[in-house]
Amino acid sequence: MAIFEMLRAELIDIIEWVDDSQHSLVWRFPRYRNQIKYAAQLIVRPGQSAVFVHQGRVADVFGPGQYRLETKNLPILSTLMGWYHGFDSPFKAEIYFVSTRQLTDLKWGTANPVPMRDPDFGPVRIRAFGTYTLRAIDPAKLLSELVGTDGVYEAEEISALLRSIISSAFADVVSNSGIGILDLAQSYGSLSEQLRREVVSKIDDEFGLEVPQLYIVNVSVPEEVERALDARASMKAIGDMGAFQAYQFGNAIPDAAVNPAGGIAAAGAGLGMGLAMTNAMGGIGAAMGQPGAAGNPAAAMPPMLAPVVWHIAEAGAPVGPFTGAQLAQAIAAGRVGRDTLVWSPGMSEWQAAARVPSLLGAFATQPPPVPRG
């Protein structure tokens, strides 16, 4: 079978490339001893070019069409081989088919973070990725600079080089644009075109390649910068921070006062409930522009809460003062019981601890008296 195919190749010569791949850039036509018969048929399909190479030198280049190989349409090769009056015997040459159509769905990305100076956040590091297309526009230069003697040259073989070129160009384009990271997303279109032109200028003259399309799909920042951006957006959505804090404070007081968990936190929250409600409501009124806030910036801020102190009665004598936390510890230790008399500034008389509303949370977790047998 091999001998039959060899003899058949000597009698019939049709040179063509049926390309069924997606990312092949160059394919070398296999010939027995590289012999091309006189008047052989060359078929170059749309999106292809055929390049004849003789003794390591690029000779004639053919675009799409069907050709009968003769001296008149092989002028450079005929000169190199010394044919001046035609030839009627096989000649030796290598034929490379080059794909000139766009190779699509090629991806790029920054291998390492790209530093940039943001006008709002200062120095930050960003990453980016996207897609691009590739096309050969100068087959002879592509063969000379990249392919060499490879029988098949795929787009993946140059993708690493192109990714490095795109990443380097991306760093230059973004740094020179002066666009902050908050505005990068709305500028993907213009930045993509700038990046494409920058890449083409580096590979066109040197490798005979073109990048018809290049897109920036996403630009990301480190997680800590993302959290800072989210916090900034939340603060901007809140608007008046003083009014928001007063609102939160007012909502938190009732929950803390009725919290059955007891302990120091519940007691401390309950002890200051009355004064806190008064001050918080006053701060909300000032923040909402009620009389007294205009013309007086200090009136717009809630006043500081004064510490609440307590006295207890032991052996018929007052003992104290105690802070709210200290009184809560005394209740937890059993020193202060439900019937212990307590007094705080603002109270008209001494009262049993269990009868003071702000102290009820501190007794919520205390066990009842053990019944006597």
Per-10-residue mean pLDDT, the chain, length 373: 50 77 83 74 91 85 89 78 64 86 87 82 86 89 77 80 90 85 85 92 85 91 76 67 61 51 44 45 46 46 62 84 82 82 86 82 65 63
pLDDT at 32: 65
| Residue in 33, 67, 35 with CA at minimum distance from that of residue 49 | 67
In this structure, the answer to whether residues 245 and 335 fall within a common structural domain is yes
pLDDT at 281: 46
Q: At 108, list the tokens.
A: 């790029």
Residue 195 has, within 13 A of its CA and on its CB side, a CA count of 32
pLDDT at 268: 46
What whole-number distance in Å separates Cα of residue 81 and Cα of residue 40? 17
Q: Is residue 235 part of a domain?
A: no
Q: Is residue 231 part of a domain?
A: no
pLDDT at 354: 83
Q: Is residue 232 part of a domain?
A: no
In this structure, the answer to whether residues 193 and 277 fall within a common structural domain is no
In this structure, the answer to whether residues 118 and 199 fall within a common structural domain is yes
Number of domains in the chain: 3
The SS3 assignment for 293 reads coil
In this structure, the answer to whether residues 202 and 142 fall within a common structural domain is yes
pLDDT at 290: 46
Strands (E), 70-213: 91-92, 94-99, 103-109, 114-118, 122-136, 152-154, 209-210
Q: At 20, list the tokens.
A: 């069924």
pLDDT at 264: 41
pLDDT at 177: 83
In this structure, the answer to whether residues 220 and 255 fall within a common structural domain is no
Q: At 88, list the tokens.
A: 């009627």
The SS3 assignment for 312 reads strand
pLDDT at 76: 80
In this structure, the answer to whether residues 82 and 10 fall within a common structural domain is yes
- Of 38, 73, 99, the residue at which a domain comes to its end is 99
- Of 99, 122, 144, the residue at which a domain comes to its end is 99
In this structure, the answer to whether residues 107 and 221 fall within a common structural domain is yes
Q: What is the distance in angstroms between the CA of the first residue and the CA of the last residue of the chain?
A: 114
* φ, ψ (nearest 5 deg) of residue 149: -110, 15
Q: CB atoms < 10 A from the CB of 45, how many?
A: 16
Q: Is residue 233 part of a domain?
A: no
In this structure, the answer to whether residues 11 and 74 fall within a common structural domain is yes
- Cα–Cα distance list, 42 to 51, 89, 117, 188, 215 (Å): 11, 17, 57, 45, 38
In this structure, the answer to whether residues 155 and 76 fall within a common structural domain is no
Q: In this structure, are residues 128 and 219 in contact, taking their beta carbons and an 8 Å threshold?
A: yes
Q: Tokens 């302990």, residue?
A: 263
pLDDT at 199: 92
pLDDT at 65: 93
- Of 187, 203, 226, the residue at which a domain comes to its end is 226
For the chain, count helices (H), then strands (E): 11, 19
Q: Tokens 């190749």, residue?
A: 9
pLDDT at 153: 79
In this structure, the answer to whether residues 115 and 94 fall within a common structural domain is no
Report CA 225 to chain centroid distance, whole Å.
Answer: 11
In this structure, the answer to whether residues 216 and 147 fall within a common structural domain is yes
Q: In this structure, are residues 148 and 22 in contact, taking their beta carbons and an 8 Å threshold?
A: no
Q: Is residue 372 part of a domain?
A: no
Q: CB atoms < 10 A from the CB of 53, how many?
A: 20
Q: CB atoms < 10 A from the CB of 174, how many?
A: 22
pLDDT at 197: 93
Non-local CB neighbours of 42 within 8 Å, separated by 6+ positions: 15, 16, 50, 62, 66, 67, 68, 69, 95
For residue 341, the enclosing domain spans 241-289+299-363
What whole-number distance in Å separates Cα of residue 256 and Cα of residue 267? 9
What whole-number distance in Å separates Cα of residue 106 and Cα of residue 108? 7
